[in-house]
Amino acid sequence: MILQHTQKFTPQFLKLSDLVSSERIYVVLFTLASLIFSTIFSLLSTSAVVYTVACIYTARDVSFDTVIRVLPKVWRKLLVTFLCVFAAFLAFNFVAFGVMFLIPVIAIIIYGPNDHHFLAGIGTIFFFFTIFYLAAIWYLTIIWQLSSVVSVLEASCGFKAMAKSKGLLKGKMKMVVKLTMLLNLPLGVAQLVFYYLVVRSASVGVAVRGILGICWVVLFMVLFLVNLVVETMVYFVCKSFHCESVDKVALSEHLQGYLLDHYVQLKVVDDYVQLAKLQAV
């Protein structure tokens, strides 16, 4: 506000302009650092939680040292999947914004340029476009979450993991959407409370803001980790729904492979393994 009411090209204006520019640079750098840190934290926590849940599922011994040894190998696969998902988001948004600029043209074709319903038609088309856009973003987010689990528990990663997760979601999409909404609802409520009490409110003291900020961070981390556990369980549920038996022996060998420097996983067919077990009994 002070900069707007200051006469241009004066020493005071130039000083304030340099100050504002430096602050903007700091904000941009801080935002980039926050995004990088959040991405790294998300990939590492996903690797650790999914691997731990899978070890518990297969009755393998798991410890903090074991998880730390596994993280470098699992993190690479998750990074490849993340980059592929990011590319898919970019491509979708590029197409979506291209279609958004065509909305007036579509309204002209449907209603005509001189029709009094032209503006209402643009609003209607934009409304349905927004609904479709948000639903598609939500769907890609669910694909991303499940493909991260696939990248840890299977040999595939990247676009192959995305295609695998898309196939697993068939027939269970409603259940996954309801579960995702149920898990994200507390986080959304906490975000609103944090925004209005800490960010916007001027009546709350600094100490109270600090306590609320710490509580929000702890709550966010807990809900995020619970969400990762649920995503891993959703993977097993979807596999069972599509009659894809999860062989605990093969899964245990796959998890063991992350601990070995040189490991070649044996490829076995589940039917023959199950038949051998029945014959042994």
CB 234 within 8 A of CB 176: yes
Residue 217 lies in a domain: no
Residue 177, pLDDT score: 85
Are residues 94 and 143 located together in one domain of the fold? yes
Tell me which residue range forms the domain holding 43. 12-62
Residue 99 lies in a domain: yes
Residue 12, pLDDT score: 58
Are residues 47 and 108 located together in one domain of the fold? no
Residue 116 lies in a domain: yes
Residue 18, pLDDT score: 59
Name the residue with higher pLDDT: 110 or 189.
189
The mean pLDDT of the chain is 77
Domain boundary among 105, 140, 170: 170
Query: Does the structure show a pLDDT above 70 at 3?
Result: no
Are residues 46 and 92 located together in one domain of the fold? no
Are residues 56 and 125 located together in one domain of the fold? no
Are residues 58 and 86 located together in one domain of the fold? no
Structural domain count, the chain: 2
Residue 89, pLDDT score: 93
Structure tokens at 219: 């709550």
Are residues 105 and 149 located together in one domain of the fold? yes
Are residues 94 and 160 located together in one domain of the fold? yes
Are residues 86 and 155 located together in one domain of the fold? yes
Most confident of 116-120, 192-196, 268-272: 192-196
Are residues 53 and 115 located together in one domain of the fold? no
% of the chain exceeding 90 in pLDDT: 7
Give pLDDT tens digits for 32-90: 887 888 788 888 888 888 888 888 888 888 888 888 888 888 888 888 999 999 999 99
Residue 272, pLDDT score: 38
Residue 107, Cβ neighbours under 10 Å: how many?
22
Residue 278, pLDDT score: 39
Are residues 30 and 91 located together in one domain of the fold? no
Q: What pTM was computed for the model? A: 0.75
Give pLDDT tens digits for 199-208: 676 666 777 7
